[in-house]
């Protein structure tokens, strides 16, 4: 059963092309058991009709601040008090600006001022509008006041441009909404997690690397933090923002990652190795840039320490979770890794295909632990991370109670 069962959600819809996706979000929230009331701004109604949301929610849609008929059903103060969560998706640049300025010139902005519930915004706009210093300042101000900003995502936009400004997909927003009401099952627990690639230097400007973007590890760090854990993220070089409430330590090479992890591993309750640590490093790093004088160049490589196995072998080892990136025979190879490295749980993903694994926004995992398995189907990485974090928390507590 979803934690959203019986939770009261005001779904605010403002003017933007992404408003059509809010219909799918409404359905997803209702399927998870939430009770949803939809509030639309006048601009939103230029994109989608009230009828769409009314038909889906089987409830009246609220649009007016000073309409006696609507106010008689549930006035703006009643709506503000009723909500456990006010989720505005899409949140336009204009709406964010009005909220930041404390304006109350329509029903949604007024109830947002009057509510004590968590307010979450899913920004959606043209990338230049999002990057505009005025919008960035509004976003900063709203975060500072305790509002949550979910997204925006990056990618192709309806206006034909590419960049940040897309609304997060409905399933990702659903996972975020669930996390608001999650149990806090890792409250007070210390989690150490690695993410991203490592770079193994050949000379001062070249390195051996891999395709890890850090998306899976960062999403998992965020999910574990939302469960209440104190999360330290040891990160290889990636172009991602540090998740809220996560302490990040940047490293480049496998040896630096080993040092950063081993300095902290004995003091943590849970260790998760998501990083794609290079298995080998050049035996020597040339002091100067290697000249391309010869036709062939040979690199001698030395095996790197296996950080995950080292953590699992500690006398007072934390609950240890590894990942396994496999191109074939996924379950057999992953289970062999789980046994060889003596980890408590391994999350296996197929890599090298067209979907899932490295770089992309989606992944599917097969979780294996002693006597159990669970398949998490192909979904957005934050959704997969949410499911994995819940499972890690559950298995950690079972093991802690046994020990
Ligand atoms: O970052 P993304 O683009 O989102 O991609 C996500 C991912 C594919 C990188 C991630 O889901 C994943 O599979 N991470 C593990 C990648 C990997 O190195 O797999 P492996 O099967 O080679 O290693 C097994 C485990 O040993 C991993 O937990 C790894 O962190 C650990 N390891 C490996 C080598 C080493 N020297 N030290 C280690 O700790």
Question: For 26-60, what is each residue's pLDDT tens digit?
Answer: 999 999 999 999 999 999 999 999 999 999 999 99
What rounded mean pLDDT belongs to the chain? 94
Question: With bands split at pLDDT 50, 70 and 90, how would you rate the model's confidence at 159?
Answer: confident
Q: Is 318 annotated as a binding residue?
A: no
What local confidence, expressed as pLDDT, does residue 193 receive?
A: 98
Exposed (0-12), middle (13-18) or buried (19+): which is 397, by Cβ within 10 Å? middle
DSSP state of 32: T
Q: Do 259 and 171 belong to one domain? A: no
Beta bridge partners of 339: none
CB-based pocket (< 6 A), ligand 1: 212-217, 254, 273-277, 279, 304, 306-308, 322-325, 337, 349, 351, 357-359
190 versus 3: the higher-pLDDT residue is: 190
106 is in an annotated binding site: no
The Cα 175–Cα 122 span in angstroms is 13
Do 158 and 219 fall into the same domain? no
**67, pLDDT greater than 90:** no
pLDDT at residue 75 is higher than 90: no
Predicted model pTM: 0.74
The domain containing residue 41 runs over which residues? 8-180
Residue 216 token pair: 């899976």
Percentage of the chain exceeding pLDDT 70:
100
Q: Are residues 197 and 160 in the same domain?
A: no
Interval 160-177: pLDDT, tens: 888 889 999 999 999 889
- CATH number of the domain enclosing 48: 3.40.50.1950
What confidence tier does 258 reach under pLDDT thresholds 50, 70, 90?
A: very high
**In the chain, what are the helix, strand and coil shares in percent, each to the nearest 5?**
35, 25, 40
Task: Band the pLDDT of 251: cuts 50, 70, 90.
Answer: very high
Q: Is the pLDDT of residue 182 over 80?
A: no
Q: How many angstroms separate the CA atoms of 76 and 87, rounded?
A: 15
Residue 68 domain flag:
yes
Give the ligand 1 atom nearest the CA of 219.
4
Report yes or no: 139 and 107 within 8 Å, Cβ to Cβ: no
Q: How far is the CA of 350 from the centre of ligand 1 (A)?
A: 12
Last residue of a domain, one of 158, 180, 202: 180
Residues 380, 292, single domain; the answer is yes
Neighbouring-strand partners of residue 8? 35
- Do 117 and 224 fall within a single domain? no
Q: How far apart (Å, rounded) are the C-alpha atoms in residues 239 and 265?
A: 25
Going by DSSP bridges, is the β-strand pair 118-123/148-149 parallel, antiparallel, or unpaired? parallel
Closest atom, ligand 1, to C-alpha of 307: 39
pLDDT (0 to 100) of residue 323 = 98
Q: Compute the chain's Rg from CA coordinates.
A: 24
90 is in an annotated binding site: no
Distance in angstroms (rounded) separating the CA atoms of residues 182 and 206: 44
Alpha carbons 22 and 39: distance in angstroms, whole number: 11
What number does the ligand 1 atom closest to the CA of 195 have? 1
Q: Which of 180, 212, 232 lies at the terminal end of a domain, its last residue? A: 180
- Phi, psi for residue 13 in degrees, rounded to 5: -120, 120
What spacing in Å lies between the alpha carbon of 144 and ligand 1's midpoint? 35
| DSSP secondary structure, 273-312, as one string | E-SB--SEEES---SSPPP--SS-----EEEPP-HHHHHH
Q: Are 383 and 389 in contact (CB under 8 A)?
A: no
Where is the domain boundary, 121, 152, 180? 180
- Same-domain check for residues 237 and 138: no
Residue 6 confidence (pLDDT): 96
Residue 74 has pLDDT above 90, yes or no: no
DSSP state of 136: H
The Cα angle at residue 359 between residues 354 and 362, in degrees rounded to 5: 65
User: Is position 3 within any domain?
Assistant: no
The two beta strands, 190-195 and 200-201, are unpaired
Asked if the structure places residue 2 within a domain, the reply is: no
Assess whether pLDDT exceeds 80 at residue 183: no
Q: In terms of domains, do 142 and 256 share one?
A: no
pLDDT at residue 359 greater than cutoff 80? yes
Distance 340 CA to ligand 1 centre (A): 15
pLDDT of residue 395: 95
The pLDDT value given to residue 112: 97
164 and 231 co-located in one domain: no
Task: Please give the distance, rounded to the nearest whole angstrom, from the Cα atom of residue 364 to the centre of ligand 1.
Answer: 14
Residue 159 annotated in active site: yes
1 domain residue, yes or no = no
- Annotation-wise, does 306 bind a ligand? yes
Q: Which atom of ligand 1 is nearest to the CA of 215?
A: 4
Residue of 99, 103, 161, 104 whose CA lies nearest to 130: 161
> Considering 66, 159, 336, 375, which one is annotated as catalytic?
159
In a domain, 308, yes or no: yes
Question: Would you say residue 185 lies in a domain?
Answer: no
Two tokens at 354? 């067209």
- Compute the distance between CA of residue 95 and CA of residue 135 in angstroms, rounded to an integer: 10
| Distance from the alpha carbon of residue 176 to the mean position of ligand 1, in angstroms | 25
The domain tally of the chain equals 2
pLDDT, residue 178, reads: 86
* pLDDT above 90: residue 191: yes
Which residue do the tokens 């990618």 mark? 155
């Amino acid at each position: 059963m979803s934690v959203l069962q019986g939770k009261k959600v005001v779904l605010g819809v403002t003017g933007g092309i992404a408003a059509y996706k809010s219909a799918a979000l409404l359905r997803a929230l209702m399927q998870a058991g939430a009770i949803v009331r939809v509030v639309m701004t006048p601009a939103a109604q230029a994109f989608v009709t009230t009828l769409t949301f009314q038909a889906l929610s089987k409830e009246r849609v609220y649009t007016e601040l000073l309409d006696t008929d609507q106010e008689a059903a549930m006035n703006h103060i009643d709506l503000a008090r009723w909500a456990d969560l006010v989720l505005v998706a899409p949140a336009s640049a204009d709406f964010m600006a009005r909220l930041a300025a404390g304006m109350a010139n329509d029903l949604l902005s007024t109830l947002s001022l009057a509510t004590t519930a968590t307010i979450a915004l899913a920004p959606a706009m043209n990338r230049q509008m999002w990057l505009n210093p005025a919008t960035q300042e509004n976003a900063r101000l709203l975060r500072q006041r305790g509002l949550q900003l979910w997204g925006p995502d990056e990618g192709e936009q309806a206006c034909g441009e590419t960049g940040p400004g897309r609304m997060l997909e409905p399933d990702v927003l659903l996972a975020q909404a669930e996390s608001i009401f999650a149990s806090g099952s890792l409250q007070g627990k210390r989690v150490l997690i690695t993410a991203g690639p490592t770079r193994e230097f050949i000379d001062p400007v070249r390195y051996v690397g891999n395709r890890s973007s850090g998306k899976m590890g960062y999403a998992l760090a965020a999910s574990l933090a939302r469960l209440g854990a104190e999360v330290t993220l040891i990160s290889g070089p990636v172009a991602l923002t540090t998740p809220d409430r996560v302490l990040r330590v940047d490293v480049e090479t496998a040896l630096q990652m080993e040092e950063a992890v081993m300095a902290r591993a004995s003091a943590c309750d849970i260790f998760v190795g998501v990083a794609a640590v290079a298995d080998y490093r050049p035996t020597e790093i040339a002091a100067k840039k290697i000249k391309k004088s010869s036709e062939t160049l040979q690199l001698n490589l030395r095996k790197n320490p296996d950080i995950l196995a080292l953590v699992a072998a500690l006398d007072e080892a934390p609950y240890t979770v590894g990942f396994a990136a496999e191109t074939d025979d996924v379950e057999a190879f992953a289970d062999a890794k789980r046994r060889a490295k003596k980890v408590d749980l391994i999350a296996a993903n197929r890599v090298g295909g067209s979907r899932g694994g490295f770089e992309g926004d989606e992944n599917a995992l097969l979780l294996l632990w002693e006597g159990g398995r669970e398949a998490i189907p192909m979904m957005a990485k934050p959704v997969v991370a949410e499911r994995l974090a819940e499972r890690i928390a559950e298995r950690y507590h079972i093991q802690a109670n046994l020990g």
